[in-house]
Chains A and B, each alone.
Chain A
């Protein structure tokens, strides 16, 4: 393996994890409403270790009804990749930001140009759920050159050798998809979430976060027994769609933070 360059996203996540803290990464759909950046700031202030910024796409095949609805609303407001990055460039958020979207928006702009634009906007990571590792070489090298961590995903169906390859290639963190299915709230923790986290952690030092289906503070704790933390999307977005706003978002993420910190006090800041 060549020397692995660790970007600012991974650097921060590793540092927080190594301090004994579980990682909490909320997902916010960019452009959801006029005040969406206040939501980003609110979840950062409530204890997020990084924030995933969803750039809305017309055909989000990995997303369930809640994030689909948020994407539709954001697109209807005229949100574009360029408008999101322009707003992020002016936003002052004290935690690292990773964008999450679909590969066509990057391919359309051109991987080189998109990687440069992300870096210029202060974005330090990117997650593309429809760009599996076999197709990702060109994007990963452009991202690395721009100092953007290209996060890779593993799924419950990923076989062993491939899982190792993905974990080695992933920058920022390893996104472990906790169940077979699209984003959305779930009543229970799938056993697959625990298994996939364990499998990834046994082969990599890179932080392993479980996403998809993480709904309650209790579930976040259960999953974090095996992972380095969680990504929370639909459970937050549903509250935002219901009009809860930055305060509601902060309160919800705060409740997740508290549950994780109660279980893993670590070295408190």
Chain B
């Protein structure tokens, strides 16, 4: 294998990337995490599982997704911008890649109740979709605030047969949805599979979810080589909530010379402004007050409204392999509209963060003229249109 294996390879036996990661869960869940780790390794090494997953990714989710060169925006910015089009995957975002993997795993483990947390609703929709396809009972926890701002996705999940439970604790967003999903799992662990939607949580989730998402980066690298006559991009950019689309993307480029940049929202920049802590089963970077209480993230995008970040991103930041930048809600709104008008693509607000940074960095000279950039467009903007209509009026 290539050096990617060592750069973004397996965490150590304790589930750590450097000092980050681990398995900080209530004792009731430790055996379940160990069982999941075993089951995932067995499945991942099983050619039958892999071909079943690849078949679903291909014939059901529509993979491979294309890479689109942005001709007009590129010439306006003086760069060469390529978009990895996860918005074109079934259900409209990269979340389906992970969920199909975990749903197949749940079936293989004999667990018929499939629970998930969701922020923007994309992971919830993907979970409800996979559960419908594979005959699993699906329960989705979603913060009450997100239930309101992503009402369409709530209805979508219900149409797909899932039960959506609004979470009323804390800030009523993604962090609190994870808390309630964990509480459910503590009580139901014997019959229930918890499908975490990002590269967060106790080991093996951060590693497993990244493996299920690495298809994004691996496809993109090959596609870029075709476009760039065998060369790799100079810069690879993705938005970071928990960090799954970024981790999957980076995994494909970690062994190239490409600069890796993750973009966080200004109000939820766990790698940018957070400090090391232990929450949601992992040691990673979190926004905290001076005593270690976790702070509420605030972002225009429900999917990035998370005060933590996956442990592998904390590690990549610590060793300097990736850097993490942040952008404001206003910059995101501008980037959203600019992509719509120049390229005819409505991005989700989450990947509009990645684009917002690219635009700003180009203006500030942090991206050189002519740089070749692969950005993961992690999802489509349909879910955000109603919110944007309100914001722009």
With the chains together, A58 CA to B183 CA distance in Å? 14
Give the distance to chain B from A31, nearest Cβ to Cβ, in Å. Answer: 12
Q: Is the CB of A180 within 8 A of B278?
A: no
In the complex, which residues of chain A have a beta carbon less than 8 angstroms from the beta carbon of B281? 130
Q: Which of A108, A166, A180 contacts B28 (CB 8 A)?
A: A180
- CB within 8 Å of B: which A209-253 residues: none
Q: How far is the CB of A198 from chain B (nearest CB, A)?
A: 17
Within 8 A of B (CB), among A54-100: 57-62, 64, 68, 72, 75, 80-82
B181-204: CB near A (< 8 Å → 1, else 0) gives: 011001111100000000000000
Say which residue of A57, A58, A68, A135 sits within 8 Å of B22 (CB atoms): A135
A residues 114-145 near B (Cβ < 8 Å) are: 129-135
> 1/0 contact trace for B273-300 toward A, CB 8 Å?
0011111110100101001111100000
Asked if B44 is at the interface (CB within 8 A of a chain A CB), the reply is no
Is B49 engaged at the interface, CB distance under 8 Å to the other chain?
A: no
Bound together, the chains give a CA A158 to CA B280 distance in angstroms of: 20
B320 at the interface (CB under 8 A from A): no
B190 touches which of A68, A104, A177, A180 (Cβ 8 Å): A180
A131 touches B24 (CB 8 A): yes
- A130–B22 CA distance with the chains assembled, in angstroms: 12
Contact with A along B8-35 (1 / 0, CB 8 A): 0000001000000011111111111000
Asked if A181 is at the interface (CB within 8 A of a chain B CB), the reply is yes
CB-CB under 8 A from A82, the residues of chain B are 291
Q: Which of the candidate stretches A1-9, A32-40, A148-156, A199-207 sits at the interface with the other chain?
A: A148-156
Q: For B293, give its contact among A57, A155, A182 (CB under 8 Å).
A: A57
Q: How far is the CA of A23 from the CA of B87 in the complex (A)?
A: 59
Quick check: A107 and B277 within 8 Å, CB to CB? yes
Closest A-chain residue to B275, C-beta based?
A: A108
**A208 CB → nearest B CB, Å:** 14
Determine if B179 is an interface residue (Cβ-Cβ < 8 Å): yes
One of B183, B275, B278 near A64 (C-beta < 8 A): B183
| Cβ-defined contact, A107 with B278, below 8 A | yes
* Contacts of A152-198 to chain B: CB distance below 8 A: 153-159, 162, 166, 177, 180-182
A81 to B170 CA separation, bound complex (whole angstroms): 19
Q: Known interface pairs A75-B293, A134-B14. Does A61 touch B27 (Cβ–Cβ under 8 Å)?
A: no
Contact status B186-A180, CB under 8 Å = yes
B24 to chain A: which residues have CB within 8 Å?
Answer: 103, 130-132, 135
How many interface residues does B have (CB within 8 Å)?
38
Distance in angstroms from A166 CB to nearest chain B CB is 8
Q: Is the CB of A157 within 8 A of B189?
A: yes
The interface centre, meaning the residue of A57, A109, A182 with most chain B CB atoms within 10 A of its CB, is A182
List A contacts of B26 (CB < 8 A): 61-62, 129-130, 132, 153, 155, 177
A259 on the B face (CB < 8 A)? no
Q: Which of chain A's residues have a CB closer than 8 A to the CB of B369?
A: none
Q: How far is it, in angstroms, between the C-alpha of A175 and the C-alpha of B77 when the chains are bound?
A: 61
Q: Name the contact of A103 in the complex, choosing from B28, B29, B278 (C-beta under 8 A).
A: B278
The answer to whether B175 has its CB under 8 Å from any CB of chain A is yes
Q: How far is the CB of B187 from chain A (nearest CB, A)?
A: 4
Taking a contact as CB atoms closer than 8 A, the residue among A64, A107, A154, A158 that contacts B292 in the complex is: A107
Q: Is B72 an interface residue (CB 8 A)?
A: no
Are B27 and A108 in contact, with the CB atoms below 8 A?
A: no
Chain B neighbourhood of A68, CB < 8 A = 169
- Tell me the bound Cα distance from A135 to B24 in angstroms: 7
CB distance from A99 to the nearest CB of B (A): 14
Contact present for A130 and B291 (CB under 8 Å): no
Residues on A with C-beta less than 8 A from B288 are 104, 108
User: Which of B31, B279, B293 has a CB less than 8 Å from the CB of A159?
Assistant: B31
Complex: how many Å from CA A61 to CA B186? 9
Indicate if A45 sits at the interface (CB-CB under 8 A). no
Bound form: Cα–Cα A158–B14 in Å = 18
A157-B189, A182-B187 given as contacts; is B23 within 8 A of A58 (CB)?
A: no
Asked if B278 contacts A158 (CB within 8 A), the reply is: no
Q: A173 to chain B: closest CB distance in Å?
A: 15
Are B291 and A153 neighbours in the complex by a CB distance under 8 Å?
Answer: no
Q: Which of A59, A64, A158, A182 has the most CB of B within 10 A?
A: A59
Q: Are A104 and B278 in contact (CB under 8 A)?
A: yes
For the complex, give the distance between the alpha carbons of A134 and B16 in Å. 13
Within 8 Å CB of B291, what residues of A? 80-82, 105, 108-109
Q: Per a CB cutoff under 8 Å, which of A59, A80, A134 touches B170?
A: A59
Which 10 residue pairs are nearest across A and B when measured between Cβ atoms? A108-B292, A181-B187, A155-B28, A155-B27, A58-B293, A80-B291, A58-B294, A105-B292, A61-B182, A153-B27
A positions within 8 Å CB-CB of B: 57-62, 64, 68, 72, 75, 80-82, 103-105, 107-109, 129-135, 153-159, 162, 166, 177, 180-182
Identify 28 residue pairs between A and B in the complex whose beta-carbon atoms are under 8 Å apart, listed by A's number: A59-B280, A61-B182, A61-B183, A68-B169, A80-B293, A105-B291, A107-B283, A108-B277, A108-B288, A108-B292, A130-B24, A131-B24, A131-B278, A132-B23, A132-B24, A132-B25, A132-B30, A135-B23, A135-B24, A155-B27, A157-B27, A157-B28, A157-B29, A157-B30, A159-B31, A177-B26, A182-B183, A182-B187
Task: Taking A104-B292, A109-B291, A134-B30 as given, write out 5 further A-B residue pairs in contact, using a Cβ cutoff of 8 Å, ordered by the A residue number.
Answer: A61-B280, A82-B291, A134-B14, A177-B27, A181-B187
